[in-house]
Amino acid sequence: MEYKIPNHVAIIMDGNGRWAQKRGLKRTKGHQKGAEALKKISEYAYDKKIKVLSVFAFSTENWKRDKEEVDFLMNLFLKAFKENFEAVKKKGVKVIFSGVKDKLSEQVIDSMEKMMQETKNNTNGIFNICLNYGGQDEIINATKKISKDVKEGIIDCNDINPDLFNKYLFNDLPPIDLLIRTSGEYRISNFMLWQMAYAELYFTDTLWPDFDEKQMDKAIEAYNNRDRRFGGVKK
């Protein structure tokens, strides 16, 4: 049987805090290690010819964490956008962001815009970073924009279908084929709800900072053992 590489892989990078606590370290150390893991995995994913990689960097709920942790994460993003993603850029990958700008500092927004601008013509892959992101928020936001366009006569209500709806989301992305969540939690946590409709779900007990190339291979192998029918019947 042909070995399939999923076109769109999404990752909920969970367990940074527990990774650090297990070692008697501050939670922030776990995030730092998590950023290193992401750098490795993103490069590996594009080498494997995965076309779209979406990662959950910061949810709209994560603002509830201690200010120290939130500040640390924001600085980590700034640092990673400057340094780590040079490698992804070199691979010819386009970087995009999903989420809302409110509450993000000007510095973070500027850095996001710079990344998008510098990579906008790249065609080897897409790196979708979900930052200040919520799945229900994304659907509501799209619905509001569609309602406005219907009201203004730009589109007809009868023309609303999944393809059209997709175009109103933060980014017009292909459906997720494989969702990976680390750290032994079996939840979707408001992540890319629309895009996940037919995704294969892969859960592992490995904490995100320990998730390496071997673990990624295991996830792709599990994906290959799934029987995807999209609601149909196997012929």
Residue ranges that bind ligand FPP, judged by CB under 6 A: 13-18, 31, 34-35, 38, 57, 62, 76-77, 80, 129, 183, 208
Active-site option among 7, 16, 47, 62: 62
16-24: Cβ within 8 A, 24+ apart? 16/207, 16/208, 16/209, 18/183, 18/207, 19/207, 19/208, 19/209, 19/210, 22/207
Residue 63 DSSP code = G
The CB-of-17 to ligand FPP minimum distance in angstroms stands at 3
Provide, rounded to whole angstroms, the least separation between the CB of residue 178 and ligand FPP: 18
Residue 89: Cβ-neighbour burial (10 angstroms; 0-12, 13-18, 19+): middle
Q: Of 38 and 142, which has the nearer Cβ to ligand FPP?
A: 38
Tell the burial category of 132 from Cβ atoms under 10 Å away from its Cβ (0-12, 13-18, 19+): buried
Q: From CA 34, how far away is CA 234, in angstroms rounded?
A: 39
14 tagged catalytic: yes
CB 94 to ligand FPP: min, Å = 15
The yes-or-no answer on residue 84 being catalytic is no
Nearer to ligand FPP, 29 or 51 (CB): 29
Q: Which CB, 57 or 93, lies closer to ligand FPP?
A: 57
Residue 3 CB, shortest distance to ligand FPP, in Å, is 28
Annotated catalytic residues are 14, 62
